[in-house]
Structure 1
Amino acid sequence: MQPLSRSHAWPIMGPAQVQQLEPALQALSPTPLMQSAGLACARLALAVAPHAQRVWVAAGPGNNGGDGLEAALHLHQWGKEVVVSLMALPGQGPADAQAALQRAQQAGVRIQPDVPKEWLQQMAAEDLCIDALLGIGATRPLGADLQACVLAMQKGAAPVLAIDVPTGLNPQSGQWLSGDSADNLAVQATHTLSLIAVQPGLLMAHGRDASGQIWLENLGYQASQHRVPPLAWLNAPYPGTPKRHASHKGSHGDVAVIGGEGMAPHGMDMRGAAILAATAALHAGAGRVILSLLSGHACDSAPPDVMQREFKRLELEKLHVVCGCGGGTAVEAVLPEVLQRSACLVLDADGLNAVARDSVLQNALHQRGSRQSTVITPHPLEAARLLGCSTQQVQSDRLKAAQEMAERFQCSVVLKGSGTVIAAPGQTPRINITGNGRLAIGGTGDVLAGLVGARLAQGPNPFEAACAAVAQHGQVADDWPTGGTLTASRLARRLA
Structure 2
Amino acid sequence: MHRLDLTLPHLLHGIDASRHIEHAAAASLPAHTLMRRAGVATARLAMALAPHSHCIWIACGPGNNGGDGFEAALELARGGRPIVVTFEGDAARLPADARDALGRLQAAGISIAAEAPRHFDLAVDALLGLGASRAPEGRMLDHLRCMHASGAPVLAIDLPSGLNADTGRSAIDLGNAGRTQRHCLSLLTVKPGLFTAHGRDLAGTVWFDDLGADRTGTPPDARLPGRPTPALRAHDSHKGSFGDVAVIGGAPGMTGAGWLAATAALHAGAGRVFVGLLDNDAPSPAADHALMRRAPQSLALERMAVVCGCGGGTAVEGMLPEVLARARSLVLDADGLNAIAREDAWRSLLKARAQAQQVTVLTPHPLEAARLLGTDTGAVQADRLAAATQLARDLCCTVVLKGSGSVIASVDDTPSINPTGNARLATGGTGDVLAGMVGSALASGLEPHRAACEAVWWHGAAADGWPADRPFSASLLARQAGIALARPA
Q: Quick one: structure 1 residues 79 and 381, their matched pair in 2 at CA, closer, same or farther if it must change by over 3 Å?
A: same
Q: Quick one: structure 1 residues 375 and 304, their matched pair in 2 at CA, closer, same or farther if it must change by over 3 Å?
A: same
CA distance in 2, matches of 1:199, 1:189: 20
Q: Please provide the CA RMSD for this pair.
A: 2.0
Q: Quick one: structure 1 residues 239 and 4, their matched pair in 2 at CA, closer, same or farther if it must change by over 3 Å?
A: same
Amino acid at match of 1:144: G
Alpha-carbon contact 1:82-1:109 (below 8 Å) kept: no
- TM-score with structure 2 length normalisation? 0.94
CA distance in 1, matches of 2:333, 2:151: 46
Alpha-carbon contact 2:152-2:180 (below 8 Å) kept: no
Of the structure 1 ranges 443-452 and 425-434, higher mean CA displacement relative to structure 2 is found in: 425-434
1:407-456 per-position Cα deviation (integer Å, ceiling 9, x unaligned):
11111111100000111111111111111100100000000000000011
The yes-or-no answer on 1:288 pairing with 2:237 is no
The yes-or-no answer on 1:300 pairing with 2:284 is yes
What is the CA distance between 1:168 and its match in structure 2?
3.7
Match for residue 478 of structure 1 among 451, 464, 471: 464
Alpha-carbon contact 1:412-1:462 (below 8 Å) kept: yes
Alpha-carbon contact 2:91-2:99 (below 8 Å) kept: no
Of the structure 1 ranges 132-141 and 323-332, higher mean CA displacement relative to structure 2 is found in: 132-141
1:64-88 per-position Cα deviation (integer Å, ceiling 9, x unaligned):
0011011111111111222211111
Count of matched residue pairs: 479
Match for residue 221 of structure 2 among 231, 256, 280: 231
Of the structure 1 ranges 426-435 and 15-24, higher mean CA displacement relative to structure 2 is found in: 15-24
The corresponding residue for 1:26 is: 26
CA distance in 1, matches of 2:176, 2:250: 41
Q: Quick one: structure 1 residues 293 and 33, their matched pair in 2 at CA, closer, same or farther if it must change by over 3 Å?
A: same
The yes-or-no answer on 1:38 pairing with 2:39 is yes
Alpha-carbon contact 1:174-1:207 (below 8 Å) kept: yes
Alpha-carbon contact 1:289-1:307 (below 8 Å) kept: yes
The yes-or-no answer on 1:98 pairing with 2:99 is yes
CA distance in 2, matches of 1:317, 1:392: 38
The corresponding residue for 2:387 is: 401
CA distance in 1, matches of 2:18, 2:65: 13
What is the CA distance between 1:334 and its match in structure 2?
1.1
CA distance in 2, matches of 1:187, 1:146: 20
Match for residue 361 of structure 2 among 335, 354, 375: 375
What is the CA distance between 1:187 and its match in structure 2?
10
Amino acid at match of 2:154: V
The yes-or-no answer on 1:357 pairing with 2:349 is no
Unaligned runs of 5+ in 1: 263-268
The corresponding residue for 2:17 is: 17
Alpha-carbon contact 1:438-1:486 (below 8 Å) kept: yes
Alpha-carbon contact 1:139-1:177 (below 8 Å) kept: no
CA distance in 2, matches of 1:345, 1:186: 38
Of the structure 1 ranges 141-150 and 294-303, higher mean CA displacement relative to structure 2 is found in: 294-303
The equivalences for 1:115-264 within 5 A come to 115-116=115-116, 120-123=117-120, 127-156=121-150, 158-178=152-172, 188=180, 190-223=182-215, 225-226=216-217, 228-262=218-252
CA distance in 2, matches of 1:190, 1:239: 30
Amino acid at match of 1:299: P
CA distance in 2, matches of 1:339, 1:413: 16
CA distance in 2, matches of 1:155, 1:409: 44
Q: Quick one: structure 1 residues 316 and 133, their matched pair in 2 at CA, closer, same or farther if it must change by over 3 Å?
A: same
What is the CA distance between 1:200 and its match in structure 2?
2.2
CA distance in 1, matches of 2:411, 2:266: 29
CA distance in 1, matches of 2:403, 2:293: 31
Alpha-carbon contact 1:324-1:347 (below 8 Å) kept: yes
Amino acid at match of 2:108: A
Alpha-carbon contact 1:57-1:129 (below 8 Å) kept: yes
Amino acid at match of 2:264: A
The corresponding residue for 2:432 is: 446
The corresponding residue for 1:266 is: none
Amino acid at match of 2:250: G
CA distance in 2, matches of 1:407, 1:177: 29
Alpha-carbon contact 2:149-2:179 (below 8 Å) kept: no
The corresponding residue for 1:432 is: 418
Unaligned runs of 5+ in 2: 483-489
Amino acid at match of 1:250: G
1:323-370 per-position Cα deviation (integer Å, ceiling 9, x unaligned):
000010011111111111110001100000000111111111111112
Amino acid at match of 1:241: A
Query: Secondary structure at 2:413's aligned position in 1?
Result: coil
The corresponding residue for 2:8 is: 8
Alpha-carbon contact 1:189-1:211 (below 8 Å) kept: no
CA distance in 2, matches of 1:243, 1:152: 54
What is the CA distance between 1:192 and its match in structure 2?
0.7
Alpha-carbon contact 2:152-2:181 (below 8 Å) kept: no
Query: Secondary structure at 1:446's aligned position in 2?
Result: helix
Alpha-carbon contact 1:172-1:396 (below 8 Å) kept: no
What is the CA distance between 1:373 and its match in structure 2?
0.8
Q: Quick one: structure 1 residues 186 and 281, their matched pair in 2 at CA, closer, same or farther if it must change by over 3 Å?
A: closer
